[in-house]
């Protein structure tokens, strides 16, 4: 009777050994508690349970850790973090004139003390990223134009950037300066 009871307790103890296999997806707390339980179970079963646990770990490793959830693929970043502000639409500004021009964004070039956003030489282009909404682009030829006499007028255009736009392109042509 004592042997049957001991065999029954041993069978119950060994049947729960598989749940004590340490998996790579276990948290630190789960891993620690499994090691502690394995220690006491190993003492009670005189080390026999440890052989069953290690065998279960080997089987799971060969099968790809069947009890771990599948790895989550990295998710592409879709929205900017709040610190970056509003999303911007990228675009290109191209100077198709024979003059060097100063470009102004949302500013009046005739106002005193207003510096240009950037300067474009003939044939040069520059990338520009704008927030959705209305913008005013103005361009004025510089006084040091290399070839030909630059016009006294200026290029001015009001544009509307839609948040659904993927990009935009503006070309400054000689005929656009009035």
- Report the b/e string of 62-75 with b at 16+ CB within 10 A: eeeeeeeeeeeeee
pLDDT band at 22 (very low <50, low <70, confident <90, very high): confident
* pLDDT given at position 85: 67
127 plus 51 within the same structural domain:
no
Residue 111 structural domain: 87-176
Residue 100 in any domain: the answer is: yes
169 plus 99 within the same structural domain:
yes
133 plus 92 within the same structural domain:
yes
Residue 70 in any domain: the answer is: no
Closest listed residue to residue 49, CA positions, set 12, 6, 3: 12
Is the pLDDT at 33 greater than 60, yes or no? Answer: yes
Residue 33 in any domain: the answer is: yes
Give the three-state DSSP class for 59.
helix
Q: Which residue has the higher pLDDT, 74 or 24?
A: 24
41 plus 114 within the same structural domain:
no
* pLDDT given at position 172: 87
Residue 123 in any domain: the answer is: yes
Residue 116 in any domain: the answer is: yes
User: Where does residue 133 fall: left (phi above 0), alpha (psi -120 to 50 degrees), or beta otherwise?
Assistant: left
* pLDDT given at position 9: 65
Q: Which residue has the higher pLDDT, 72 or 39?
A: 39
Q: Which residue has the higher pLDDT, 4 or 100?
A: 100
Q: pLDDT per residue over 45-73, tens digit each?
A: 778 778 888 888 888 888 777 777 776 66
Q: pLDDT per residue over 78-124, tens digit each?
A: 555 555 667 788 889 999 888 888 889 888 887 888 888 888 888 89
Query: In the chain, how many domains are there?
Result: 2
Q: Which residue has the higher pLDDT, 110 or 136?
A: 136
* pLDDT given at position 79: 57
59 plus 92 within the same structural domain:
no
| 8-state DSSP, 25 | T
- Report the b/e string of 8-17 with b at 16+ CB within 10 A: eeeeeebeeb
| 8-state DSSP, 17 | G
């Amino acid at each position: 009777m004592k042997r049957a009871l001991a065999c029954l307790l041993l069978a119950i103890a060994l049947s729960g050994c598989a749940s004590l296999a340490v998996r790579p997806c276990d948290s630190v707390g789960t891993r620690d508690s499994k090691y502690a339980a394995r220690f006491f179970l190993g003492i009670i079963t005189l080390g026999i349970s440890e052989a069953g646990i290690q065998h279960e770990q080997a089987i799971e490793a060969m099968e790809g850790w069947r009890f771990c959830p599948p790895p989550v693929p990295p998710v592409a970043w879709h929205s900017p973090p709040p610190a970056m502000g509003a999303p911007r639409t990228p675009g290109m500004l191209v100077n198709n004139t024979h003059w060097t021009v100063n470009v102004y964004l949302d500013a009046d070039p005739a106002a005193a003390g207003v510096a240009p956003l950037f300067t474009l030489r003939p044939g040069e282009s520059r990338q520009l990223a704008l927030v959705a909404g209305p913008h005013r682009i103005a361009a004025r030829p510089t006084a040091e134009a290399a070839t030909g006499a630059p016009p006294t007028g200026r290029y001015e255009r009001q544009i509307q950037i839609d948040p659904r736009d993927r990009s935009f392109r503006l070309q400054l042509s000689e005929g656009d300066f009035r």
